[in-house]
Amino acid sequence: MKIHEYQARELFRQYGIPVPEDVLCHTIEEVEQAARKLNRMVVVKAQVHAGGRGKAGGVKLARTIDDAIAAGKKILGMDIKGYTVEKVLVADAVEIDKEFYVGLINDRNTKSVTLMASSEGGVEIEEVAKNSPEKIIKLSIDPLVGLLDFQARDIAMQLFGNMQHVRQAVPILKKLYKLYVETDSSLAEINPLVLTPDGQVYAIDGKMNFDDNALFRQPQILALREPDEDEKKEIAANEKGLSYIKLDGDIGCMVNGAGLAMATIDMIKLYGGSPANFLDIGGSSNPQKVIDAMTILLGDSNVKAVMINIFGGITRCDDVARGLISALNVIKTDIPIVVRLSGTNAEEGLTLLKQAGLPTVGSMSEAARQAIELSKAYVQK
Ligand code: GDP
Ligand code: MN
């Protein structure tokens, strides 16, 4: 789960990480009020679940109230990487002497939380990793003892090289780690962490992600969830017992089992197609589930063909076929559908589908190839 910068800043404050004052705004009037209230140089920042807002024109410094209003007008409603900006943060701006990067992630290789820090702050860390990986300091943190003072001091010294700044940076690192662990975070970044000309250290941007599997024990974090359109669909699907993740392609996939769903996606890619989603309907042939799944797939306007790939085990293929036939009686669509059934009662299932006039194929690769061809031939009416 992702949260917005304004929410990350609030969590930082709760943990005592220094963040300049800010006000969340939904309208130009609110931007004006906020700029008057802060009464200094402010920065107007798009609040969307995307990085690189600065580069995209979604972060603007304003020295006067009129500048702030103009920035608000430009940014509210703007599109950043497919997200429409519906709110902006008006924050107290600081003078910047230098920008640093500090981040925590779960590292599967070391099986621990890794602290990353760099004197190349402000730019996306992926860029630094690509162009000058030697400028990223990494430290694996022992989960039993946490981030120790001497480790935090060592890293802060490498970044700042000045004891007065190190004294401010050490508690920031330790508090960020505490926040990360206590909230079951999977990513916590301060980028940039800045040094001002008068020697103050502030976090002026925050990004945090959380482990979805831990949200059940993190009510405070769950309450911050502001799903975008795609995530809303994913959550609705979950509530119906389906695991659904939207992707960018045009071939809808309906599959039973997560492993088979992944294999289906791989197969579509292998033959040059592009999957529209991951969808695991689980081990049930309940027609209602099939109807729900088809409704979700066909609700995605990118979908130009549907590939149904079922491996019957405990789930019986004839049940799935019946579910599918009754689902398609309810949902009328002209989008081509390819069905591959294999396993328990596949013969019976295929016969039922043929009787109902639905196209079936013999193998998974054939299903993928056909779905790709049909998607290319499909023209929306
Ligand atoms: P991002 O592009 O989405 O990561 O958004 P950031 O909040 O990190 O802002 C991008 C850049 O704008 C920063 O790296 C800074 O260079 C600049 N910026 C943001 N806030 C301030 C501020 O308060 N003062 C100054 N001088 N620059 C800022
Ligand atoms: Mn940033």
- Measured in Å, residue 80 CA sits from the centre of ligand 2 at 14
Residues with CB under 6 A from ligand 1: 43, 45, 51-54, 59, 61, 93-94, 96, 99, 122, 191-192, 204-205
Residue 200: per-residue pLDDT:
98
Please identify every residue whose CB atom is under 5 Å from ligand 2, which is an ion. 191, 205
Which domains does the chain carry? 19-92 (3.30.1490.20), 98-222 (3.30.470.20), 229-380 (3.40.50.261)
Q: Which of 5, 59, 88, 97 to mutate to test the pocket of ligand 1 (most atoms within 8 A of CB)?
A: 59
- What pLDDT is attached to residue 92? 97
| Regions of the chain with pLDDT less than 50 | none
* 3-state SS record for the chain: CECCHHHHHHHHHHCCCCCCCEEEECCHHHHHHHHHHHCCCEEEEECCCCCCCCCCCCEEEECCHHHHHHHHHHHCCCEECCEECCCEEEEECCCCCEEEEEEEEEECCCCEEEEEEECCCCCCHHHHHHHCHHHEEEEEECCCCCCCHHHHHHHHHHHHCCHHHHHHHHHHHHHHHHHHHHCCEEEEEEEEEEECCCCCEEECCEEEEECHHHHHHCHHHHCCCCCCHHHHHHHHHHHCCCEEEECCCCEEEEECCHHHHHHHHHHHHHCCCCECEEEECCCCCCHHHHHHHHHHHHCCCCCCEEEEEEEECCCCHHHHHHHHHHHHHHCCCCCCEEEEEEECCHHHHHHHHHHCCCCEECCHHHHHHHHHHHHHHCCCC
**Which residue's CA lies nearest to atom 4 of ligand 1?**
52
Is the overall model pTM greater than 0.85, yes or no? Answer: no
pLDDT at 381: 62
pLDDT (tens digit per residue) in 24-73 = 999 999 999 999 999 789 999 999 998 899 999 999 999 999 999 999 99
Query: Given this model, what pLDDT does residue 291 score?
Result: 85
- Atom 6 in ligand 1: residue holding the nearest Cα: 205
